[in-house]
Amino acid sequence: MARITWGMATSHVPSIGAAMDNHKTEDPYWKPLFDGYEKARTWMAEHQPDVAVIVYNDHANAIDMDLVPTFGIGTAESYDVADEGWGPRPVPSVVGAPDLSEHMVRELIDDSFDIATFHQLDVDHGLTVPLSVYCPEPGESWPCAVVPVLVNVIQYPQPTAARCYALGQAIGRAIRSFPQDLKVAVFGTGGMSHQLSGARAGLINERFDRMFLDKIEHRPEALTALTREDYIAEAGTEGIELIMWLVMRGAMSDNIARVHDTYHVPASNTAAALALFEDLDSREGVTA
């Protein structure tokens, strides 16, 4: 059966990808951020999954604002890198895991999550930047296949934090019932606090971010109790992306250990963080 071996949450700021693409990671502005990734990257490289289930949001690149599904799953054989206005990032296209995708769609619908399916999807910075955070030098291809899971965080009303956590729990059940012997990592992406426009543009709330980073491990229910308005008030209009971390957390068991985390301000307008957790229940020889 498939196992969830680890979960990683990371910001997906486009300029983090641009810094890598343009060889600026040693510049004084960027070096502290990338130094913070070092430990987690080494651990992830030593614990390669077969598939990464990447929970992310499209930023009106592949999904037209006229039709915005609350939750979706990509079921394609492969996903092209989106052109967000300055050409696609110079990174490999993304290989899908259609059998696992189809299984997840079926299981989720049977579990009362009426999820949209994307048979064709170009993936934007929301997905490719987390892949680059995980694997900075992919060469010809990324080290694992990918199932994209899409969450609407950009158009009101976004799903509640509690619903995102419940979706994660259903995704966890779906993955663990997949009959192939696969190692699966789950990525939660976006955040931390940031607001890109309006009177509060540039907002960072370190107190809230550190509370979130702390509670995501063993007290996620403290985070699912917050409303979407709480997230926007505390973390900013784009900081609500943090609800996608709860999908990742919901997919993992209660038996997790923090491998590493890092928090850095600013990356562009954003408080950037990475948090990596091992799922101890998935270790060889351990049955849940």
* Closer CB to ligand DHB, 5 or 195, in the complex: 195
Stretch that binds ligand DHB, among 72-80, 98-106, 202-210, 265-273 (CB under 6 A): 265-273
**How many binding residues for ligand DHB (CB under 6 A)?**
13
Q: Could you write out the DSSP letters of every residue in 162-197?
A: HHHHHHHHHHHHHHHT-SS--EEEEEEE--SS---S
> Distances from the Cα of 116 to the Cαs of 83, 130, 169, 179, in angstroms?
23, 22, 18, 23
150 binds ligand DHB (CB under 6 A): no
268 binds ligand DHB (CB under 6 A): yes
- DSSP element (H, E) containing 275: strand 270-279
Rounded to whole angstroms, the Cα distance separating 265 from 27 reads 15
Per-position x/- string for 179-218, each x denoting binding to ligand DHB as judged by CB under 6 A, each - no binding: -----------x---x-x----------------------
Tell the residue number behind the tokens 């510049």, with chain if given: 27
106 Cβ contact list (under 8 Å, min separation 6): none
From the candidates 47, 103, 119, 194, give the one annotated as an active-site residue: 194
> Distances from the Cα of 269 to the Cαs of 13, 52, 139, 150, in angstroms?
9, 27, 29, 23
Stretch that binds ligand DHB, among 8-16, 48-56, 91-99, 174-182 (CB under 6 A): 8-16
**Which of 193, 237, 262, 269 is in the footprint of ligand DHB by CB under 6 A?**
269
To the nearest whole angstrom, how small is the minimum distance from the Cβ of residue 169 to ligand DHB? Answer: 25
- DSSP element (H, E) containing 18: helix 14-21
To the nearest whole angstrom, how small is the minimum distance from the Cβ of residue 88 to ligand DHB? Answer: 16
Stretch that binds ligand DHB, among 41-49, 99-107, 212-220, 263-271 (CB under 6 A): 263-271
**Which of 238, 261, 278, 279 is in the footprint of ligand DHB by CB under 6 A?**
238
Residues in 14-33 that interact with ligand DHB by CB under 6 A: 14-15
From the candidates 12, 103, 125, 264, give the one annotated as an active-site residue: 125
260 tagged catalytic:
no
47 tagged catalytic:
no
Secondary structure (3-state) at 86: coil
To the nearest whole angstrom, how small is the minimum distance from the Cβ of residue 266 to ligand DHB? Answer: 8
To the nearest whole angstrom, how small is the minimum distance from the Cβ of residue 203 to ligand DHB? Answer: 11
**Which of 2, 4, 8, 13 is in the footprint of ligand DHB by CB under 6 A?**
13
Rounded to whole angstroms, the Cα distance separating 172 from 43 reads 22
* Closer CB to ligand DHB, 193 or 224, in the complex: 193
Residues in 55-84 that interact with ligand DHB by CB under 6 A: 59
Secondary structure (3-state) at 228: helix
In terms of Cβ atoms closer than 10 Å to its own Cβ (0-12, 13-18, 19+), residue 156 is: exposed
Rounded to whole angstroms, the Cα distance separating 46 from 54 reads 19
**Which of 270, 273, 279, 282 is in the footprint of ligand DHB by CB under 6 A?**
270
Residues counted in the chain: 288
Rounded to whole angstroms, the Cα distance separating 19 from 100 reads 33
Residue numbers annotated as active site: 125, 194
Applying CB under 6 A, the residues found at the interface with ligand DHB are: 12-15, 59, 190, 194, 196, 238, 241, 268-270
